[in-house]
Structure 1
Amino acid sequence: MEEELLLVDASTGEPLAVSGAVLAAADRCAGECSKGRQEQEHVFEKELQREQVEFNTKPVTEMGELRDEIVRWRAEASRHAASAGALVAALGTSPLPVRPSLSAGKRYRWIAEQFCLTAQEQLTCGCHVHVAVESDAEGVAVLDRIRPWLPVLTAMSANSPFWQGADSGYASYRSRVWDRLPSAGPEGVFGSADRYHEHVRAMVDSGVLHDEGMIYFDARLSATYPTVEVRVADVCLEAGTTVLLAAVVRALVETAARAWRAGEPPARIGTGLLRLAAWRAGRSGLDGPLLHPRTMRETAPADAVLALYEYVREALVDHGDRDRVSAEIAVLLDRGNGARAQRALLSERGDLAGVVLGCAELTTAEPAS
């Protein structure tokens, strides 16, 4: 799992460009633990903007262990941020107005020069789920078969209703800002690993992209790990929702791989329709209609989420995750996602600073077992 967190002022909730200080604190901690012969991984990384920081969990197979990882590294991020006078908040976008500050580095400068205002405004925090696959052939077969289901994940994780001090009207405005980048969004059916790699090489060779790391598909083969990487989710406000997302994504990948091995073809849904489904998910979240993954017609959000659950249920059973996921989905549909929580905080606390500070509290809260 990869989670991107917003760094905010502990008093005002405004984004703070202190990622350098936070990463330095993390490095010092890792060095001290190493001297004391305690295990301390280097899990924190910088992102495009200095107002955010990312951490990566270790690979795990059990969702309880993943829960512990998420809780641990959110707490560590909070501790390192405190040394720089900041809090961490799991927010897909900043509710308060911000002029982001680009991180140092040649690659980031290239991105800023190439994409101009799009890059300057790109302060968004997502959650990426990596699931191991046995080969590129299996990975591409999975990519071809999970396409219709990805917008449901966006709706479940939606956690970015505010943009530059105003309600955007969207549940996941992060998804709309992110899709301004030219390689972002859904892709067509590739059919084979060779065609996938040929497509990626052609995109990089075009000169529009700096490198393969800028292949920002909704789901892709990781350039670093032997995994399928699903990238459509906002960073989830609460750690428990992150674990739910991970369990569903793992089951989705496994279900698609089984379908491939059984000779079942992928659904031939056009990329244009998938873009509509992604827009609808970003707009509605769980508070309005979604496009049903099988019919591409509007349906109630609960119907789309439960269709996803039924599609992956056998894999959930095999991984021992069915009861956990079933219970968490029921809670999510009843309570709502991060977008609903943020709007409720605005109603309760009266201003966007209160929203940010309330979300910072929820970010590091201990989830229910």
Structure 2
Amino acid sequence: MGPSVKPPTAITAPTAANPTPLTLGVEEEFLLLDPATGESMPVAEQVRGTLTGTAREQSRQEFRHSMVEMVTPVSPDLGRLRDHLVALRRAAARAGEAVGARLVAVGATPVCEAHRSVPDEQRYHDMSRRFGPVAHDPAVCGCHVHVGVPDRELAVQVCNHLRPWLPVVQALTANSPLHDGRDTGHASWRSMQLQRWPSIGPTPHFDSAADYDATVRELITAGIMLDEAMVYWYARPSASYPTVEVRVGDVCPTVDDTVLVAGLVRALVATVIDDIRAGTPVPRVRDCLVAAAHWRAAHDGVDGDLVDLRTGRPRPAWGLIDDLLATVTPALTRHGDRDLILREVQRLRREGTGATRQRRVMAANGDDVHAVLDHLAAQTVA
């Protein structure tokens, strides 16, 4: 990631007086898998070299040779975001096929990763030396949603207010139940794997942007992070863009799933901006309880209970999801997203998350992991 961008002070959250929508952007990370074995293939450099035009410009090198990241342009609405996602996935899939690999939207390495060396960049080598075997875990892939919040002081406050709802977003995106060809019992094994990194997890509460910056400097001095780009908290003011970046989710299996998550995240950000402007106090929840709620979300997904951080008690996941929808419906309506998001939530309620779908396919095919990967590859570019 590049250096910090000095943000302007304008706030663009839509209100009755200012209907300008909050802008959106999405980063999606994908695995490149061997079609025959399902193993991760170290061909990302060749894939990026095969991409052309806008797709090449919108691709990024990642921490594993088996990963490619595709980054959408800034979009004002979900329709255009969807068009970008479709085009980038299809371009990356064609480039993968050209070098003998399948592009698969899955949150964690499902079979195995034989080649775990880092790309030949100084920063990656520094991370490898500092963090040792943690830096050589099998690849994991996320979906990062950027919402335009150019006032950085406001962005820090938004992250504070998002804390109680991010486990719900995490559960909705769960798409990595497999590891080493077997079901881990977790809906998001990616979340479990990432807990080994010292700078990943729930976003702490900060009193101000100055407090945030001072804490990051202290963590860099302590050796927990190499630089500010290693702030991998589940929500953060982006180090590169004038946005709030929500990075809690697994990469979604389909474009429609990604559009759903992006729309919900934008509505959440708009909702908490309303709360901040109205002087609503930030919910103060103990860090250990927030961490517990994220663990439960990674374990159960939407097929069990989630921890309601407003009460500290577990509840059926879909009851809490319904509360989230009720909370953000005014913001969805202002953005013109209400009907689309409600339809997509109903679809997800019927079909299940990516983790649920993978388990269904696996059970129907005698625990054959290759049937799951065939299913995922088809969904990635459907």
Q: Same fold (TM over 0.5)?
A: yes
Which segment drifts farther, 218-227 or 99-108? Answer: 99-108
Q: Residue 104 of structure 2 is aligned with which of 89, 101, 122?
A: 89
CA distance in 2, matches of 1:40, 1:71: 11
Unaligned runs of 5+ in 2: 1-25
1:126-185 C-alpha deviation (Å, 9 max, x unpaired): 000000113111101101100010000110000000112221100001011112110111
CA distance in 1, matches of 2:35, 2:182: 21
The question of whether the paired residues in 2 share the 8 Å contact of 1:100 and 1:121 is answered with: no
How far the C-alpha of 1:123 sits from its partner, in A, is 0.9
Q: Residue 62 of structure 1 is aligned with which of 54, 77, 87?
A: 77
For 1:8, the equivalent position in structure 2 comes to: 33
The question of whether the paired residues in 2 share the 8 Å contact of 1:247 and 1:325 is answered with: yes
1:5-84 pair list within 5 angstroms: 5-26=30-51, 29-30=52-53, 42-84=57-99
1:270-285 pair list within 5 angstroms: 270-285=286-301
How far the C-alpha of 1:205 sits from its partner, in A, is 2.0
CA distance in 1, matches of 2:214, 2:146: 22
For 1:126, the equivalent position in structure 2 comes to: 142
Aligned residues: 355
How far the C-alpha of 1:342 sits from its partner, in A, is 0.8
1:229 aligns with 2:245: yes
1:26-67 C-alpha deviation (Å, 9 max, x unpaired): 2xx22xxxxxxxx66601111111111001000101111111
Percent of counterpart pairs with the same letter? 39
CA distance in 1, matches of 2:274, 2:207: 16
Amino acid in the other structure paired with 2:274 = R
Amino acid in the other structure paired with 1:271 = D
1:217-257 C-alpha deviation (Å, 9 max, x unpaired): 11011010000000100000111010000000001111111
1:83-142 C-alpha deviation (Å, 9 max, x unpaired): 110110000012212234222211111111211121111410000000011311110110
For 1:33, the equivalent position in structure 2 comes to: none
1:195 aligns with 2:220: no
The question of whether the paired residues in 1 share the 8 Å contact of 2:108 and 2:138 is answered with: no
How far the C-alpha of 1:10 sits from its partner, in A, is 2.2
How far the C-alpha of 1:208 sits from its partner, in A, is 2.7
Question: Compared with structure 1, are the counterparts of its residues 201 and 19 closer, same or farther at alpha carbon in structure 2 (3 Å cutoff)?
Answer: same
Amino acid in the other structure paired with 1:355 = V
Amino acid in the other structure paired with 2:287 = T
Amino acid in the other structure paired with 1:112 = S
CA distance in 1, matches of 2:120, 2:320: 42
SS in 2 for 1:48: coil
For 1:360, the equivalent position in structure 2 comes to: 377
How far the C-alpha of 1:204 sits from its partner, in A, is 1.5
